[in-house]
Structure 1
């Protein structure tokens, strides 16, 4: 038997005593404080060099109250035992007991994170020593587990997994096996061995060894299947569906989701939607679901797939998913919500026609009383809103079609609008208004009996309708138009008697209405005579062509013709008629016409010429439009309409992108009419034309002229500066920037801060007083509550440049005698450079941290090096010289240590941020300082314990 060192007995005795004490302490803490310790005796070996020849000695423990001792004191003793013992078994036992105390009591065991890693690195050799000797008195499965943990904490992932595999192989019944299997599968997943990971996770799921790990394993089983590619996605889908069934077994579970499960459930929905999207979309989704029963979460999955397509910009695919759910579960309570979501998707895609189709489908599906009652209050509001929007749209469409002469389209649109209005009237609180609109739509559609019925209901059947009189008057107007022949259709041919009866009802209900007197007077005349618009044209034609007509009669006929044509927007025919009327007014017998008729006719003639210009412009006929606008001046010289015609001619050229023509007309207009109110808008139009024609410098000049007369010119000047920037006129731009910044302007919001920082950055880039603008840029960014990625990057980089220059100044300072003076200057320069680098870190964060750490470390290293290299005073003897150099070393050592710490910190960033050039420089310095540790090849491994690696 191997001899044991005397200190081993001391340590072993101490360990046994503390272990016994802790066991009793824990048990007594759980029992009544009045219980006393039982008497017992421990035999220990004595007077022998080996365990075999020791003679027993008896330590008697008598019954007495348990001493009061806190867990923290026990921790302290075990901690000290671990640090002081050289025996592997004792150290491992102490470490395990420390871990158990922490797990059971939550007590801090006295190790920091870095200390704990160091402890476990040291413990690995103890584990290996124990395994080699086979001299462990505890459970080997726990030892293997602790070894795996130690390897993991020290970054030896493969060794950790190997120990876990040993644990599973050697002790399959151990309570630690489920966690070991899970971590082995996790390692395979993290290493990209997804088939192996699937096997591991499936073993845990199917064995049911541990509920906690089984749930996690099923989730990760799905991910390992997903990672194997599309061929394994059906398996993955079945797994993920089971995960959702476990988390969301019924409808109530949707309302009571555990907060810790939200991310898992969300990721599960996300990956199912992603797989379905990459296959056949909703068809694939339905194939994964059980069609014999409706899962409580199925609608959420369809919704997630629809959202996925929407985010990807696949609008039609998103809509198809919503529609697929509606077909899949037509009676589901969420069908209205899905139909509304279709509307939202088309709205985000800005496709008006599709939006209307979706709204129309929603209104139609729930238009019946049963369907409408199925909606919740919010959905009912949507139904009413959609009905009103669709009705108004169809009404406007009908109006536009009628204006363009498309009678068939106009009629269809007005019929549709009326249907929506009438459906809405049954469910709206504004019944009277809606019925009146329905009547008007029926009227425009030529459905006069239906229009009349709606007007009458609004006027006489709706209580407290404030515009009931107007609705009643609309019914009268319709009948009068019918009587006049302007409103005729099959089944609608009112006679004078019917009009009179309607008028009597109106007068009785609305006796105070001011229109009654005129209505009665009109009725009296109508009984005497009738007439219509077309007949008026016919008769006017006869007058015009008649030889016996007087000038007044001809004038009246041409005037009627011109007004009719003008009313019908036939401006060419109206111009011809007004010219004839003007000739009669100017050349006829003055006694036949009032003296102001010629002037009135010229105004009307000028108007129709102008209207022809408007129509030509609306139809894109630029040349015709400009010609008509300019002709107005020849018809009515000096008139406001003639001036407006010239202005509109220039605008027409501007809209047609005829920049040179527009610029010429605008400048001439400004020259000819300098005091006109329209001149105020010309500068902006000229700026637009200059910019659009690729002449930003001229646009800037125009803006600067505009700014000259403004009390606050800087808005215009800054626009000019932006145009000068586009034009490449850097000197003029910089002058404006400097003048603006010299005003002491302070940013009032984020955009304002970005604008000022952009100016400083551009001034700095142009090389004008570069360091001054860098100073200003950094100071403004540090003081500002608003930041943007651009301003932070600019300021961070500027601070780094200033720091580099301050570092160069620091380097240039030599350490001379007297050393205190030169060292004080050098330390001051170091602090200035260091602060610049810290400012850069504060602004640039991770983007500049590697460089800043390197540069700050080099400042300290440079100071240490300069201290060591500084000359020794010549008047010192050999002993004094040695003492002086030792003092220099003591002064330099802390700075060199700071440099090493900063370089080391930079080195450690590899695990979080990866390698970059500045970290490489730090590694180079560390290799020079510690070649045995850093000057070697290193392969970096990663340990990813997170579920769902975010690779999607």
Structure 2
């Protein structure tokens, strides 16, 4: 062999080894991945030709046969035993791959079978290397080759050898399954069962779990061990239809169908076949009883419905209709809450129908409705989708059951009404049976209505139910049904018939009652039904009479709203009713509205009636009084709601609309009273003044004067208020009320600018009522003020003396106000004395004039000190200032006094010095008093007289009190 050929051979071998290192662990049915990119082991070239630099560029695919030939050629040139062993292993793998390829393409080799060379290669390896650890792969591939060759016995031998030698091999599950397959084909079912069991022991993660469970079931079936066969198939279903953790029962129920549909086609076929076989096995063991017993023993499964359904269908296919029905019924009994249970019940009914078991069909339908209808135990727990799926069956079944019972009842009643000679003794029995059948029919009609409230057939069903109930003597329930048909459904052909039948049912019901209270109750109900009849079926000739009768009865029973409604309907009835009935309707309306406290409506109604009556009609005055009462009641209702303004309007409308009614007196009085409350003084005054004239003899007129005085006061009509008060005083001068009236009247005269009347009133009060002290003090003060305005000083001082004397004699009644006014009065008299002091001039002879001056000074000081004794700050500061000024004035008057004639200059100078010495103490005293006065500012008192003291000191002591504040200069440079 040339070096080039040898190099090429090495590259082929290297490429194959790179690709085959990862196929040794592949399964029998998975071809090796020749394009794997994983890192290979060291190649032969790397191991033996390290000095040679090989070209590792990718080689073109030369095919399995070329690789096999390359390895064959390689065996001729290598001598290392380990390398020879590796090449032999690879060559055997290539042979089996090549054989599989040829088998797939149908290119059979000459004079031998497909896998002969591969088998020979593996046998040679085992003989040459019996202890090699990799022989597990060799035995696996050898067993595979025998199996593919069709030599199952040889394959089984190798498998047994492999399992014995390598019990922990990764291929245990697959080998046990292959072993079971071979044993099953040999009909060694017990051994096959053992092999499949070992596969199942490997757990559900094994790829052969489903197939092992399936074949195990078949093996048990072959041995007629049906119980274990069922368990085996159950394992398969548990595996492929697992009960996932789902909290919702409905989701669990739906899960089995979803799981089955999601399986791959092959697995779905196996699962369906397993269910089919299980159904067949259960049929062998007693059908539905064995099925129920099996799941009771081994636990419920969420896919049980699939098994039940398959078994039921199987019986149906075999024309075993009763057995099919029993299977479906068994499921509904075991799992009545299952979402498939109602449909299994339908299949049960269908099986009876197909099998022609008519006596079983109706009971089954009745059971279906009882269990899965709207009143059954499961309906409320179902979702809307499931309810909608069940409803079509309910609709058909309920109708059939109802019609059957209704027809049965009619036949029995006919037999009771016209009995034959031989049926005479059965009349009462037939009547009782008829009543029972009518009630049964009514129950089915009722369930239909509850289930299909909006169905097109529901109105007709409702009428049929009413008829059944009426014929059964259940009048109360019949009334409800008749009225439902008559008044809840539109355009039904027998609506009027049903409405009137309801009235007849009321009458029949009342005949059975002896309790007056119940009689009254059902009379009211009947009247309501009659009203409905009239409203709905006005074109019926019976309607107007029913309406008029209802109106009268409802008014008598004080059912005023219903009476009004009927009366109003009568008034607009076409054709128009007669005059007598029209007036009766109007009266019912008006009286009912008044009784219902609908006074505004009653007012309008009574006005309408009055418009149709003449004044000489005997009913006219009564209608006027009722109209006035209606309006007055509106006012009372508004007052109760605190709507005072509206109430006043109502009172005024009584006056306007019914001026001659008895209610007018209270209405006018109340209107005025609440106008005062609303502070509408002018309107209140107008009504009160009119009331005092119009209703002078009425007891209410006694309170008018007080209300007028209050209204005048609030409206600031001071003169009329004062006049009313003075009249009140004149009527009661000795009472406190009269005294207070005079005092207030005096003030109002003053506000009205009626000076003379105010002066007269205050004078009268001040002379007549020395007590209460506070009021007489104010009256005296007002008198003094009148004379201030009129410049009548003497008269003013008369009342000022009264103020001073009154305060002095008040004792415990003395007040701050009386003390203030007394201080003010005292200051007036003190000022008079100060002015008198100022008028005394110091003339020659000085000793005489100074004596007069001194006397005037003492009187002024006495007056001012008297004012200070009241300790009123306002007048104390004034008195102090005046005292200081008196002393200052005396000092100035001394200095400015007239000088004697004939004095020399020196004598005159000495005389002046003497005067200054005499004046100085008075000036100092004035300064001291001013300083004491200004110190009041430290106490927060800074009035006019404190300011005046500051001004006086700035002249008397200018160095201290006439300083000008100097502001320091500011240097802005730093800014």
TM-score by structure 2 length? Answer: 0.42
Structure with max Cα Rg: 2
Task: Report which structure shows greater RCO (CA 8 Å, sep ≥6).
Answer: 1
* Structure-1-length-normalised TM-score: 0.43
